[in-house]
Amino acid sequence: MKRKGQTWEFTSRPVILGSAAVVGPDEGKGPLSPDFDYIYDNLEINEKTWEKAERRLLEQASQLAIIKSELTKEQLQFFVGGDLMNQIISSTFAARKLGVPYLGVFGACSTSMESLALAALLVDTGAADYVMAGTVSHNCTAEKQFRYPTEYGSQKPPTAQYTVTGAGCGVLGRSGTGPRVTRATIGKIMDLGIKDPFNMGGAMAPAAADTLRSHFRDTGLTPGYYDLIVTGDLASVGLPITKELLHNEGLNMEETVFDDCGLLIYDREKQKYVNAGGSGCGCSAAVTYSHIMKRMIKGELKKVLVVATGALLSPLSYQQGESIPCIAHAVALEMEG
C-alpha cells in the first residue's frame, strides 16, 4: 500500500468477490428494485422490534454476500461493519451470529465506505486473505433514535431525508474476478455550524467537497477519470451545494456523471414522502453493493468513485445544542480490462 496525503493506493487492488443488498418495501418501490437481492414487503422484516428487523437485514445480506463470493464464513478472517444504532448493536449482534473476528466501526452514513476502505487495507497489507465489509439502517430505528418515532406522526420539512431500510455487504479477496478497490481517501471532520438534524444534506456537503478535493489533489486525477462519482446521502439539498463548492475550487464536475445514492434509490416524484431523498448507513451500501456492482460487472461502468458522507451527531449532542460534525470517505472501484 502506498499513501499520499489522505489517500491510500492499494498495490494488490483487492477484488470484491461477491456482494449483496437486502432492502425494505419502500426501497423495493424505487427504480433500483431489479438490482436488489431480496426485498421485504413489510417494514417489520418479520421481526417483533425495529432493532431486530435491522439486524436481520444485515445478517441476510452478509449470508448472501458470502454465498455469492463462493466462500464459507469459516474462510473469512474479519468482518468490518457498523451502523447508526447506539453502540452499533445491529452490526455487533450480526457479528455474534456470523462468528468471525469483528472490527466495529462508526462513521454514521459514511460507514459503508469506511468499512470497505479498512477491509481493502487489511487484504492489501496481507493482514487477511478474505474480509467482509457491510452496514445497515432501518427507517424506524433511526427516526426513533435521532428524531421522533414514526408512530408519533410528526411532519418533516422539505430538507429532511428518509432513512433507507436496507443492508449491503461485500466480500474482498486478493485475487479473483470482479470490481477492484484501487484507492481510498479518508476524510477529515468538517463542521460549518449547522445544528438542524433535518438538514443533513446541507451539513454534510462541505465534508463531501473536502474529501473529493483531497482525493484529486493526492492522486493527480481529474473528475473525468471516473465514469461515475456518486456521493452517499447528500440528496437534493446537499448535492447542489457540493457541486457549487467544488466549482468554486476549480473542479469541473461536468467532466463525469456526478450523482447521489440518496437520489438514485427512490423515485421522488412517486414517493413524495422521502422528501429530499434517501439517507442512512444502508443507503450508499445498498446502492453500491447492488446497482453499482452489477453495472460494473456488465461493463456499463469501468471506474467509479463512491463518496459516503456521515453526520456524526448523537441524540445527546443535539439536545445539548451542539453543531453537527461531518465526514466523508471516498473509495475508488475499477474493472480490469
Q: Which three cell numbers stand for residue 4?
A: 499520499
CA distance 86 to 306: 26
pLDDT at 303: 98
H-type alpha helices, the chain: 25-28, 50-68, 89-98, 111-124, 139-146, 200-219, 235-248, 261-264, 281-286, 293-297, 315-319
Burial of 267 (0-12, 13-18, 19+ CB in 10 A): middle
What domains lie within the chain, and their CATH numbers? 2-173 (3.40.47.40), 180-334 (3.40.47.40)
Query: What's the whole-model pTM score?
Result: 0.96
Q: At what angle do helices 89-98 and 50-68 cross, to 10 degrees?
A: 50
DSSP 8-class letter at 10 = -
Question: CA geometry: angle at 334 spanning 331 and 337, to 5°?
Answer: 170
Q: Name which of 265, 258, 310, 254 is nearest 288 in CA terms.
A: 265
CA distance 161 to 198: 7
42 CB neighbour count, 10 Å cutoff: 10
Name the stretches of the chain with pLDDT < 70. Answer: 152, 337
